[in-house]
Structure 1
Amino acid sequence: MPQSESARTGTIGFLMPDGTFDRVFSEPDLTRLRSEPYARLPSDRPLRLERAEDRARLAAVEVLVTGWGSPVLDETLLRSLPSLRAVAHSAGSVRGIVTDALLERRIALTSSATANAVPVAEFTMAMVILAAKRTFWAAETLRASRAPVDAERAWPTVGSHGITVGVVGASRIGRLVVERLASLDVRVVVADPTLDHEEQAALGVPCVTLDELAAHSDIVTLHAPALPSTRHLVDRSLLQLMRPGTTVINTARGDLIDHDALADRLDRGDLVAILDVTSPEILPPSSRLWSTPNTVITPHIAGSAGNELARLAANTVDEALHFVRFGTFHRPITLAALALQA
């Protein structure tokens, strides 16, 4: 049940750059917060630590709304937030703001990772379909030759019917991709060593080792977090297991792939790479991946952008209001989950 009328009203405050706030949140979001009887919104704009009046407001904030560019919630900043009970992050990963000091205070934590997963899964599905039809190769070959293009002669497989799509990582995005792939006539396999037997069964698709996935998939799509244990998960040996004609799609984190090893395999001309993320995010001009064949690089556009940001805002407002009503988040981030998230 919601808090009683006599209970303290939950104070909600924004702490993020003005540019982030203006991109993500709109007047309808603020209206929802203002109209909530259990919530108090001391400012319609992000609070700023350098302003004395905002420091006083921050001291009363119980639910802090953060986003891209928010400051790290370290010991120094947390001393300015003595009333803080919860943090609702309006973006996906919280790794950039969470510290041991925050966790030691047992501050409730949530993010909009679930909402942000939707456009990434949609983008991935689009890339799977386009990759299966050899769209990018065909377009580039046609542009260069101005002559008929025969994809069936050039590649071992063309089309999506009956192919195997390997999903690396049963993350939020990975699971959405698995769900969406059910609409295609493809075989789906998943590799994720963190899944127990019940979780594997719940996915409804075969779970295999990473080596098996690499060796038998026509398309490999990456949805694992960037952790020390996953750095260069796709290394030279794994790339060697991939059959001619395999496509690798990365919408997760650039560090998951050994770029030098990938460039070497791409130079053979029998592999395709669709990279929405790289490491570093903007490759230097000297990177071989700019000139390797069958390589498509996009500027990290799979995640929420433009009108998709409204989904992040709506999710954040939902979670903030859920907390002031019930004292918990609808989708809290646990310590166990935090250790496995990107």
Structure 2
Amino acid sequence: NKRVLESAHAYRAARGPIDLLRRYPAVGNYHRTVGIVGASLIGRRVMELLRPFDLRVLVHDPYADPGELAALGGESCALDELLRRSDVVSLHAPALPQTHHLLDAAGLALMPDGATLVNTARGSLVDTVALTEELVAGRLHAVLDHTEPEVLPAGSPLYNLPNVLLTPHVAGSLGGELDRLAATAVEELERYALGLDFRYAVDRGRLAYSA
């Protein structure tokens, strides 16, 4: 939320001093509001990571217990309210029929001017056409590790917009992280063979709304 990429590009272009306070008078996270859409395992981990900072955390998840969210430092609320109040909206919901284009043109229009959308979840959660219009207009900022389609057309303006950080699904497991996944799977099989409880058990009750 400090416009790091923009300031890096500006610094590279200027090759000299930049008046950051004048250029970015409203950046920073002090007393900002972060909206978490989807109290998944990752969504909850993000909430934990945000706890040391002076931030308000809003959460939208129709399956989550408000008391649990409050214990994690989050305030449960409706999606429209979250979008209206949040300076940063971070998506952690699964790809399900009921979450397709969860953020459509109407929802994106609720976000305050200058707000940032972070999607490290699933591209189908967001209406790409509507989001592109908002980003081209310069009203919003976005960090997108997932898009719909997964690889955008070569002519998409999102590749060149200064208010967009676009990455090729790097939030997924890569390199040595794949070795860790394999090792963890083997360890779980060993625990099963020994009659021990799984270390990373899957909650059968959550399968219907997990992806």
| Same fold at TM > 0.5 | yes
Aligned pair in 2 of structure 1 residues 337, 273: CA closer, same or farther (>3 Å)? Answer: same
Structure 2: where are the runs of 5+ without partners?
none
- In the alignment, the residues of structure 2 paired with residue 303 and residue 264 of structure 1 have an alpha-carbon distance, to the nearest angstrom, of 27
Code of the residue aligned with 1:270 in structure 2: it is: R
* 1:310-334 C-alpha deviation (Å, 9 max, x unpaired): 3323321221112112176443334
Q: Structure 1 length normalisation: TM-score?
A: 0.57
Code of the residue aligned with 1:205 in structure 2: it is: G
Q: Report how far residue 252 of structure 1 moved.
A: 0.5
Q: How many residues align?
A: 211
The answer for the alignment partner of 1:194 in structure 2 is 63
Code of the residue aligned with 2:163 in structure 1: it is: N
The answer for the alignment partner of 1:171 in structure 2 is 40
- 2:107 aligned with 1:238: yes
- 2:143 aligned with 1:274: yes
Aligned pair in 2 of structure 1 residues 151, 273: CA closer, same or farther (>3 Å)? Answer: farther
Q: Identify which of 164, 170, 177 aligns with 1:301.
A: 170
Q: Report how far residue 153 of structure 1 moved.
A: 3.8
Q: Report how far residue 267 of structure 1 moved.
A: 1.7
SS at 2:107's partner residue? helix
The answer for the alignment partner of 2:89 in structure 1 is 220
Aligned pair in 2 of structure 1 residues 277, 138: CA closer, same or farther (>3 Å)? Answer: same
Code of the residue aligned with 1:242 in structure 2: it is: M
Higher RCO, 1 vs 2 (CA within 8 Å, ≥6 residues apart): 1
- In the alignment, the residues of structure 1 paired with residue 122 and residue 54 of structure 2 have an alpha-carbon distance, to the nearest angstrom, of 28
Aligned pair in 2 of structure 1 residues 150, 168: CA closer, same or farther (>3 Å)? Answer: farther
The answer for the alignment partner of 1:260 in structure 2 is 129
The answer for the alignment partner of 1:311 in structure 2 is 180
Q: Report how far residue 162 of structure 1 moved.
A: 1.5
Structure 1: where are the runs of 5+ without partners?
1-131
Higher radius of gyration, 1 or 2 = 1
Q: Report how far residue 169 of structure 1 moved.
A: 0.6
Code of the residue aligned with 2:48 in structure 1: it is: E
Q: Report how far residue 148 of structure 1 moved.
A: 4.5
Coordinate RMSD, CA, aligned:
2.1
Q: Structure 2 length normalisation: TM-score?
A: 0.89
